[in-house]
Structure 1
Amino acid sequence: MAPTANRHRCNVGKPQLVVIAGPTASGKTALGVELAGRCNAEIVSADSRQVYRYLDIGTAKPTSHERRAVRHHLLDVVEPEAGFDVARFRRLAQAAIDDMRRRGKRVVVVGGTGLYIRALTRGLCAGPPADAALRARLRQQEAEVGGDFLHRRLQQLDPPAAARLHPHDTLRLVRALEVVLLSGTPLSQWQARHGFREQPFDTLMIGLKPDRARLYERIGQRCREMVQGGLVEELRGLWQRGYSPDLPVLQTIGYAQMRRVLENRSGLEEALTDMAQHTRRLAKRQMTWFRAEPEMCWFEPGQVNRIWTMVARFFQI
């Protein structure tokens, strides 16, 4: 049974927000649009890939219909070659929330990037400042050695951090390596010391927990729908715009597999199988992350009315 909203009211008087989290393909976007439409809210996207312009199909951005129905923030924020990190997300999300509150809008945060959600709701573990030269060296080493070089190195230096990151998540792998190489202390230890005890908001955490077999079926279906919807053409279009195939964001799930198709290194069915497999692994890591959130209220994706009852009580509608 899902817990009641009363357990979340220790921060009464602070700005309120509802978070809808869960693994990829669990129905977060549709639920967020439904709930936001019912409670005069706007949505803050907490997705580390949807911030990039032109990456629409491969990142499963909300449809044009969903975006017309409810205003979304933090979509299409930066160009594909630009860097984007959790600190910038937090700044932009806070600015969007401040603007929404001034206009009398409620706030719903929707996404599967657990680090972004944690930073927004419980504070940010800063670590040492960025070092552009070190980052460049790490990326150069990855390009020269190939494979999962960065991930393998992080497994040696910070196994807990490596366990949470996809081998192709170059941005976060570089940051985790940067932290341990500059400070001598693994990122996982920085995070443990921080404790994430800040509470800037009165937050209701809603987690979607689909049946595993159904989720995996949905992942396979979504991957095929992405290809049928033009994922290969989207990637080709990015290349034609002048974006390098080696950009970190284009090494992520979906784009990496379709690159092999375009370069005649893989057949489409083989690429689809690999894409679905990597997406299932991502979903597993996301669930591991969100299960560690003590305030998460878990629901099956179809329990919209039960979720709405909790949200309405939380917002006192």
Structure 2
Amino acid sequence: MSETIAAQIENDKALPKVVTIMGPTASGKTALAIELAQAVNGEIISVDSALIYRHMDIGTAKPSLEEQAGIPHWLIDIVEPEQSYSVAEFCKDTIACIEDILSRGKVPILTGGTMMYFNGLIKGLSNLPNADEKTRAQIQLFIDEHGLEAAHEQLKEIDPESGTRIHQNDPQRIMRALEVYALTGKTMTALQGIKPEPLPYDFVQFSLMPEDRALLHKRIEQRFDLMLQNNFEQEVKNLRKNKALHLDLPAIRSVGYRQMWQYLDGVFSYDEMREKGIIATRQLAKRQITWLRGWEGAISLETGDSKNIDLILPYIR
């Protein structure tokens, strides 16, 4: 073995371990992460684009203080629902959390189902420019005058890959891709192809992957009904008192919140809201599973298996 390879192997061994537990919604990630944190003196960092919002507890299945079992949880309740929070901000905040946890001799455990966050952190973010209000205002003016479809067509001409990947009814991502090109003269696709150096951590990755899709669907339905029983409707009514909130915000587009908001607007009945909320949650789980199946480097675990903790521990100790 060459000295270079030997040095690299030794360096990899020296990297501090950071555990990730990924999985679709309602797969039991939180419970497993808490069990693991108790076993290895760990602390949990939430990787969930809904748990970041304050005042959104029931519909996000946010773990209560009792459910957190005395384990410190990071990146929960950090922004207001009307505020934006980017993948870049998540990565910056998460690295700060990891360093803090490691400095106290504890094990960072990242758990959640927002794969864009995991992707940005582990695989690296492209060097994209910060948002520019003037440029955004110009793009918004174009959309107001010509329509979102015209903006999407313009994106397809500039950046065919982004135009294909981004849905024609996704104003936020269409605007961002056009903004990046306007600010840099380079396409989002080109900039995303340039990856930074990997973070100095040994990511030990696990994914909860349910073999029985019907069982997962049942868990999703049961959890949604429990939210309704726990007065999810009143939670959204309280949110609606904030006049800064509307359906186009990422927070209110979250699964469940959008359907309840529309029900309160009179768009459909209570039973339709329930059905659409459950269906939307199943669709989210399907997207998460699809992403995880293409994810390299994660050890697959079965949802609900009592032996999962025993399977994880040898990789960490």
TM-score calculated relative to the size of structure 1: 0.83
Amino acid at match of 2:285: A
Amino acid at match of 1:299: L
Matches of 1:46 and 1:130 in 2, distance apart? Answer: 23
Amino acid at match of 2:61: A
Matches of 1:204 and 1:158 in 2, distance apart? Answer: 35
Counterpart residue number, 2:274: 272
Amino acid at match of 1:286: Q
Match of 2:293 among 277, 291, 294: 291
Are 1:206 and 1:299, in contact at CA under 8 Å, matched by a contact in 2?
yes
For structure 2, the residue ranges without an aligned partner over 5 or more in a row are: 1-8
Amino acid at match of 1:200: P
1:60-96 Cα offsets, whole Å, 9 max, x none, are 2112212243110000111111111011111111111
CA shift in 2, pair 1:286/1:181, >3 Å: farther
Are 2:81 and 2:245, in contact at CA under 8 Å, matched by a contact in 1?
no
CA shift in 2, pair 1:188/1:66, >3 Å: farther
Counterpart residue number, 1:78: 79
Matches of 1:181 and 1:203 in 2, distance apart? Answer: 36
Are 2:180 and 2:187, in contact at CA under 8 Å, matched by a contact in 1?
yes
Are 2:34 and 2:69, in contact at CA under 8 Å, matched by a contact in 1?
no
Does residue 205 of structure 2 align to residue 205 of structure 1?
A: yes
Percent identity reads 37
CA shift in 2, pair 1:276/1:162, >3 Å: farther
| Match runs of 1:29-178 below 5 Å | 29-136=30-137, 172=173, 174-178=175-179
Matches of 1:63 and 1:119 in 2, distance apart? Answer: 27
How many angstroms does 1:35 deviate by? 1.1
CA shift in 2, pair 1:256/1:177, >3 Å: farther
Matches of 2:60 and 2:167 in 1, distance apart? Answer: 15
Matches of 1:303 and 1:129 in 2, distance apart? Answer: 43
CA shift in 2, pair 1:164/1:200, >3 Å: farther
Matches of 1:216 and 1:78 in 2, distance apart? Answer: 30
How many angstroms does 1:11 deviate by? 2.4
For residue 194 of structure 1, give the secondary structure of its aligned residue in structure 2.
coil
Match of 2:261 among 259, 262, 275: 259
For residue 66 of structure 1, give the secondary structure of its aligned residue in structure 2.
coil
Are 2:35 and 2:309, in contact at CA under 8 Å, matched by a contact in 1?
no
Matches of 2:222 and 2:161 in 1, distance apart? Answer: 31
Matches of 2:150 and 2:286 in 1, distance apart? Answer: 22
For residue 251 of structure 1, give the secondary structure of its aligned residue in structure 2.
coil
Amino acid at match of 2:128: G
How many angstroms does 1:38 deviate by? 1.3
Amino acid at match of 1:198: P
Amino acid at match of 2:12: N
For residue 105 of structure 2, give the secondary structure of its aligned residue in structure 1.
coil
1:111-143 Cα offsets, whole Å, 9 max, x none, are 111121122223211223322234456667889
Amino acid at match of 1:259: W
Are 1:125 and 1:194, in contact at CA under 8 Å, matched by a contact in 2?
yes
Counterpart residue number, 1:3: none
- Count of paired positions: 307
CA shift in 2, pair 1:71/1:134, >3 Å: same
CA shift in 2, pair 1:33/1:15, >3 Å: same
CA shift in 2, pair 1:60/1:153, >3 Å: farther
For structure 1, the residue ranges without an aligned partner over 5 or more in a row are: 1-7
Moved more, 279-288 or 170-179: 170-179
Matches of 2:100 and 2:118 in 1, distance apart? Answer: 19
Are 2:148 and 2:171, in contact at CA under 8 Å, matched by a contact in 1?
no
1:234-274 Cα offsets, whole Å, 9 max, x none, are 11111224442343311232111111211222111111111
CA shift in 2, pair 1:313/1:132, >3 Å: same
How many angstroms does 1:172 deviate by? 4.8
1:156-195 Cα offsets, whole Å, 9 max, x none, are 876765787788876555434533555565534433x235
Are 1:52 and 1:79, in contact at CA under 8 Å, matched by a contact in 2?
yes
